[in-house]
Amino acid sequence: LATGVVSRQRDASVRTDDRQAISGGHSVKTALITGITGQDGAYLAEFLLGKGYAVHGVKRRTSLFNTARIDHLLEGAPGQEDRFVLHHGDMTDSSSLTHILQTTRPDEVYNLAAQSHVAVSFEEPEYTANSDAMGALRLLEAIRFLGLDKTRFYQASTSELYGLVQETPQRETTPFYPRSPYAVAKLYAYWITVNYREAYGIYACNGILFNHESPLRGETFVTRKITRALARIKLGTQDELKLGNLDAKRDWGHARDYVEMMWLMLQQDTPEDFVIATGQQYSVRDFVKAAAAELDIDITFEGEGLDEVGRDRDGRVIVSVDPRYFRPAEVETLLGDATKAREKLGWTPRTSFAELVAEMTRSDLAEARRDNSRG
Ligand code: NDP
Ligand code: GDR
């Protein structure tokens, strides 16, 4: 384990002859994904393995297992064995990132690792800046320093950059106005990506992705928190769901659709930045209603502000507002315009809002039933 490799493959470096051996004579492309254990990392890894890539992932050391989202890939589908390798590393540690880049020499780097929770960034602003802003710089600087002039770089930029919105809908030319330590850190990462492209000719792109969700979404983001709680309320194992700002509006898509765009962005002749969004907007309250309807829970909202509650058909309060979930500065509304991606990448989202909510709700109901049967 001296090299930090944590999968079954002994040597992390995949050289040309190894690549040809793996692919039975054809040269395969190599991708490096930071944040591979997260929602997007899992979908992207599966997508790239399906395209025949050798996929390397950066995983940080944790005291408990953190690979639940990718364990099925580590076990190796037929034909994918040995094409999936994990390395220990951390976005706050240049030496690990440089070493991994040096040994893997990837064709494509997808920088998805981040302290990605907006509310948490107010509590851990310095760490968020270190991992989200400086982390991107560390990777770009390593690419430059190692002379990896064929390596293409994707930066996970975000609609949070628009924050206090200056124009609706938001597109690539809309001015940024970040509203959290997370968004400010991502602003640095956005501009350092542009800067290394312009200064050093690195093929580097920003995907400005609006919110995207899935059954793999972290449990503390609002959509998953809602589907998970309502599934348990349906089964009678939870009484109430406490939320913050029910009026916040977001443009919610499916993570599976969005990772395909990350890849498409790196296949163009010239590197550019793209907004990725559905162009549809719903409030947190709308999401609760849609998930409740999926579960055949009849919910009615009444009251205002801190007194607003959602009652079921028996008049029981199942949703209430808890100011602990308010943020010091809120992003009230986001709505994206992905016209450029549609025209230049031929990209359109496949999954509708209703399909997304249904998939997440079904998955959480199945999980709640499993938990129940375990007692
Ligand atoms: P997740 O929070 O699900 O995953 C984040 C990943 O980053 C995890 O693998 C996490 O590891 C890893 N990570 C966090 N800190 C570090 C660190 N210091 N060193 C190494 N790895 C670290 O996020 P998503 O998959 O949802 O998002 C992927 C990226 O896209 C993030 O950068 C996010 O900010 C950005 N983004 C997400 C959007 C969304 O709606 N999902 C929209 C726009 C941008 P661990 O599993 O150990 O916690
Ligand atoms: P966001 O996602 O901040 O947009 O960042 P999140 O799901 O956390 O919040 C969306 C909106 O819902 C409101 N809200 C609540 N949020 C949470 N987490 N928990 C609650 O109980 C709650 N109640 C209401 C929030 O105030 C907010 O307005 C996500 C992350 O994935 C980022 O990494 C990414 O960059 C952006 O999406 C695009």
Mind spelling out the 3-state secondary structure of the chain?
Answer: CCCCECCCCCCCCCCHHHHHHHCCCCCCCEEEEECCCCHHHHHHHHHHHHCCCEEEEEECCCCCCCCCCCHHHHHCCCCCCCCEEEEECCCCCHHHHHHHHHHHCCCEEEECCCCCCHHHHHHCHHHHHHHHHHHHHHHHHHHHHCCCCCCEEEEEEEHHHCCCCCCCCECCCCCCCCCCHHHHHHHHHHHHHHHHHHHHCCEEEEEEECCEECCCCCCCCHHHHHHHHHHHHHHCCCCCEEECCCCCEECCEEHHHHHHHHHHHCCCCCCCCEEECCCCCEEHHHHHHHHHHHCCCCCEEECCHHHCEEECCCCCEEEEECHHHCCCCCCCECCECCHHHHHHHCCCCCCCHHHHHHHHHHHHHHHHHHHHHHC
Fold of 16-215+252-276: Rossmann fold (3.40.50)
Q: What is the rounded average pLDDT of the residues 296-313?
A: 98
pLDDT at 304: 96
Q: Is 62 annotated as catalytic?
A: no
Which ligand 1 atom is at minimum distance from the Cα of 36? 9
d(CA 55, CA 37) in angstroms, rounded, equals 13
Enumerate the β-bridge partners of residue 137.
none
d(CA 16, CA 54) in angstroms, rounded, equals 11
pLDDT at 26: 54
Which amino acid, one-letter code, is at 82? Answer: D
| All structural domains of the chain with their residue ranges | 16-215+252-276, 222-248+282-330+352-374
Q: What is the rounded average pLDDT of the residues 287-292?
A: 98
pLDDT at 167: 98
- 37 alpha carbon – ligand 1 mean position (Å): 8
* Burial of 340 (C-beta count, 10 Å sphere; 0-12/13-18/19+): middle
222-248+282-330+352-374 sits in which CATH class? Answer: alpha beta
pLDDT at 76: 75
Closest ligand to C-alpha of residue 162 is 2
Please tell me which residue, 4 or 110, carries the higher pLDDT value: 110
Closest ligand to C-alpha of residue 92 is 1
Please tell me which residue, 53 or 8, carries the higher pLDDT value: 53
- Residue 282 beta carbon below 6 angstroms from any ligand 2 atom: no
- 217 alpha carbon – ligand 2 mean position (Å): 12
Q: What is the rounded average pLDDT of the residues 18-45?
A: 80
Cα-to-chain-centroid distance, residue 40? 4
Catalytic residue, chosen from 46, 160, 213, 294, is 160
Cα-to-chain-centroid distance, residue 104? 23
Q: Are 293 and 258 in contact (CB under 8 A)?
A: no
Q: How confident is the model at residue 81 (pLDDT cuts 50, 70, 90)?
A: low
d(CA 328, CA 121) in angstroms, rounded, equals 11
**For residue 191, is pLDDT > 70?**
yes
Q: Is 182 annotated as catalytic?
A: yes
- What residue ranges in 194-271 does DSSP mark as E strands? 203-209, 212-213, 241-243, 249-250, 253-254
**For residue 132, is pLDDT > 70?**
yes
- 236 alpha carbon – ligand 2 mean position (Å): 26
**For residue 20, is pLDDT > 50?**
no
Q: Which pLDDT tens digit goes with each residue over 346-359?
A: 999 999 999 999 99
